[in-house]
Structure 1
Amino acid sequence: MALVRKLARPLLASVFVVGGIDAIRHPAGKAPSAEKVTGRLVSQLPGVTSTEQLVRLDGVAKVVGGIALGTGTFPRLASLVLVGSMVPTTVAGHAFWDEQDPSKRAAQRLQFIKNGAILGGLLLAAVDTEGKPSIGWRARRTARELRRSAKSAGAAIGETTHSFGLSAQQLGQTAQQLGQSAQQLGQSAQQRLPI
């Protein structure tokens, strides 16, 4: 499986690196379709003044996320970054429902579906733990072990308390016997000593 990851990640990442570089170098070609999705967003983001700038930022996210995924550096996080970048890009760039020309509509629908397939690959990469247990599994296991430990500790405390109770009872009986012996010793001493 490690070999598959070493091949699949760079293959999946390559489309983002190439597309991201193109978005950074030529944002004007993508800005009109991006405007449909990002219209209000540009005015709400600090430091972003135009849709072209937002397209460039998206390109940077794609390049950085693609390189991280391709090299296996934080691949799960990189996959999520790319998912976040891909959804609005797909909706803006491949809105086949807006096309009137049947051949253009078919081409855009195919690109939309292709992006959906790539999105599926990214989601698989985002949940791939490389054979290691997931955080959820580790948390459930730890909780189960803590419950067992608490149960064992509770039983041990119960046994200790019971033993302590028995010891206290035995100590009380010993003290009572000592008291009786001391009383007998005192009576014996009183009989032998002339007072």
Structure 2
Amino acid sequence: MLFVLAGTAQVIAPHRDAELAAVRRVRFVTPGLVRLGGVVQALAGIAVILGIRTTVAAGMLAVFLVVATLTMHRFWAAEDPAERASEQAHFLKNVALIGGALVVSVA
């Protein structure tokens, strides 16, 4: 459900995440790219939930998460200790989600 809800939110309001990316100096992220990522998340999430082509869907989620994690949660670049801790927590959460997606993709 996480991917379905997050993806739907990005499809509906892509400017929020695009602006966040700009603040984090990730220049290539546009509202259109955020919306595309949201579609991928939502559809792949639905496919995994329904058991439809789970290998492909979970693989797509893993790839999405790798890109999102490395571009949006760069804790090593944060100067503020609280921000660094928050970004590191999100980074590690996403690493766990990547692991879960990979397990589903080979099951």
State the TM-score, normalizing by the size of structure 2: 0.89
Query: Where in structure 1 do 4 or more consecutive aligned residues deviate above 2 Å?
Result: none
Distance 2:30 2:68 in 1: 13
Paired position in structure 1 for 2:3: 16
Distance 1:115 1:105 in 2: 15
Paired position in structure 1 for 2:75: 96
Paired position in structure 2 for 1:8: none
Which of 13, 25, 43 is the equivalent residue of 2:12? 25
Aligned length: 104
Paired amino acid for 1:107: S
For structure 2, the residue ranges without an aligned partner over 5 or more in a row are: none
For structure 1, the residue ranges without an aligned partner over 5 or more in a row are: 1-13, 40-49, 129-195
Q: Displacement of 1:106 after TM fit?
A: 0.3
Q: Displacement of 1:93 after TM fit?
A: 2.1
| Pairs within 5 Å for 1:9-88 | 14-32=1-19, 33=21, 36=26, 39=28, 51-88=30-67
Which of 82, 87, 92 is the equivalent residue of 1:108? 87
Paired amino acid for 2:7: G
Higher relative contact order (CA 8 A, sep 6+): 2
> If you compute each CA radius of gyration, which structure gives the higher value, 1 or 2?
1
After superposition, give the CA deviation of every residue in 1:139-192 in whole Å (9 maximum; x if it has no partner): xxxxxxxxxxxxxxxxxxxxxxxxxxxxxxxxxxxxxxxxxxxxxxxxxxxxxx
